[in-house]
Amino acid sequence: MTRYLSQANETTEAGYMELTILMPCLNEAETLEICIKKAKAFLASSGVDGEVMIADNGSTDGSQDIARANGAVVVDVPARGYGAALLGGIEASRARFVIMGDADDSYDFSNLMPYVERLRAGADLVMGNRFKGGIAEGAMPFLHKYLGNPVLSFLGRLFFNVPIGDFHCGLRGFNRESIRSLKLVTPGMEFASEMVVKSALSQLRIDEVPTTLKPDGRSRPPHLRTWRDGWRHLRFLLIFSPRYLYLVPGLVLLAIGVGGMAWLWSGPREVMSDLALDVHSFVGFTMIAVLAVQILLFGVLSRGFASIFGIRRETRVWMSLATSLELMLVLALIAVLGGLAGAWWCFSEWARVGYASLEYGKFLRPFVSSLAALLAGTQMAFTAFFASSFAEYFKHSKSGG
């Protein structure tokens, strides 16, 4: 995190307090003062020992001077990006808890006590829910309100079993040390997803409180870009969920491929009066099965790499077996030997008739199946060696060997 931090006010180095109210800032001169005043008023009225910190991301409109004039701590973060600014602020804070929110006057910094109470009660991350608290007219674009946020929140709950309804609410509080232990790294808007996903994977306690959202007070467009940042969030969710990116599609395709091969093994099948599936469809189903094996192997690699990089997940027996080099090589050997045996039988049958023409459909089915087994077995063997080589390299590089 320190690479995102340029400098901090000296008071953050020496003191220790309960709460830092952290706002990332990039040219927020229009709304920054009112946000700071609301946050400071909350600290005064609640009796919470805290500070207001502005993580400035290179503002050129005088935001830094406005923040200092209103009594906020200013941290200059040269690395650009929403996540980079917040990481710099989190590193500079010396408080037990941090509540972060945008400096555009869309969130209510005067009503933060529900967050503090949940944090005091032991929550590691407290998310706001704008859909429960209330979204004022014009506060959230139509696509964000009815498509982007609901869909991404649903996927977050599905992929990571996160019990929250607003996955991307920007007003959230957290135990500083708990979040620092996650080693968050993304510098852009996907930082919001990374925080929730890694908290869930690390089995931190995540609570939710209602919060409100009103139209921001800026005259310029927001930094958020609907399609670009929506894709970055979706990409992050998929990358960190190999079960739904690889395992589920792989198993579905494997069932379709193997099922289709078995269905067409004995000969052509009539689907409708004028439509029949034969050997060409059999070849197609075989290719689907081979593709499924490759997708599942990518899933094994993804889970293995995630473990190497410290992304903690629930240990499952099948994953432990799948990441065993020796077991994978045994399975690969069985597939290769089965493929070689099938190919040998096909050539023997061809030789038996003096290499003359064979019955096309009857011969092609076992031959294509044999080649598929050879291909799948080879893929498994090389994938297993690649994963093991990477793990060994990483282990030695970490130990300095």
Residues 273-293 pLDDT 10s: 788 898 899 999 999 999 999
- pTM, 2 dp: 0.72
DSSP line for 312-364? -----HHHHHHT-HHHHHHHHHHHHHHHHHHHHHHHHHHHHTTT----HHHHH
pLDDT at 12: 41
Neighbours of 157 (CB within 10 A): 15
CA end-to-end span of the chain: 26
Torsion region of 206: left, alpha or beta (phi above 0 gives left; psi -120 to 50 gives alpha): beta
What are 45-48's contacts with CB under 8 Å, separation 24+? 46/112, 46/113, 46/116, 48/18, 48/19, 48/116
**Sequence-distant contacts of 330-337: CB under 8 A, at least 24 apart:** 331/377, 331/380, 332/377, 332/378, 332/380, 332/381, 332/384, 333/377, 333/381, 334/377, 335/373, 335/374, 335/376, 335/377, 335/380, 336/373, 336/374, 336/377, 336/378, 336/381
Q: Which residues contact 392 (CB under 8 A, 6 or more apart)?
A: none
Cβ within 8 Å of residue 251, ≥6 positions away: 292, 296
Element (H, E) at 271: strand 269-272
Phi-psi region of 285 (alpha: psi -120 to 50; beta: other; left: phi over 0): alpha
pLDDT tens digits, 213-249: 998 767 666 656 667 767 877 877 777 777 888 889 9
Q: How does pLDDT run across 7-20, given as a tens digit for each residue?
A: 344 334 445 899 99
Determine the Cα–Cα distance for residues 110 and 343; give it in Å rounded to an integer: 74
Low-confidence ranges of the chain (pLDDT < 70): 1-15, 217, 219-226, 229, 304-323, 390-401
Q: What is the DSSP letter of 245?
A: I
3-state class (DSSP) for residue 127: strand
- Determine the 3-state secondary structure of 276 from DSSP: strand
Round to whole Å and give the CA distance between 98 and 119. 9
Q: What is the largest CA-CA distance in the chain?
A: 97
Rounded to 5 degrees, φ, ψ at 51 are -145, 160
Q: Cα separation of 278 and 259, whole Å?
A: 14
Radius of gyration for the alpha carbons in the chain, expressed in angstroms and rounded: 28
What pLDDT sits at residue 318?
A: 52
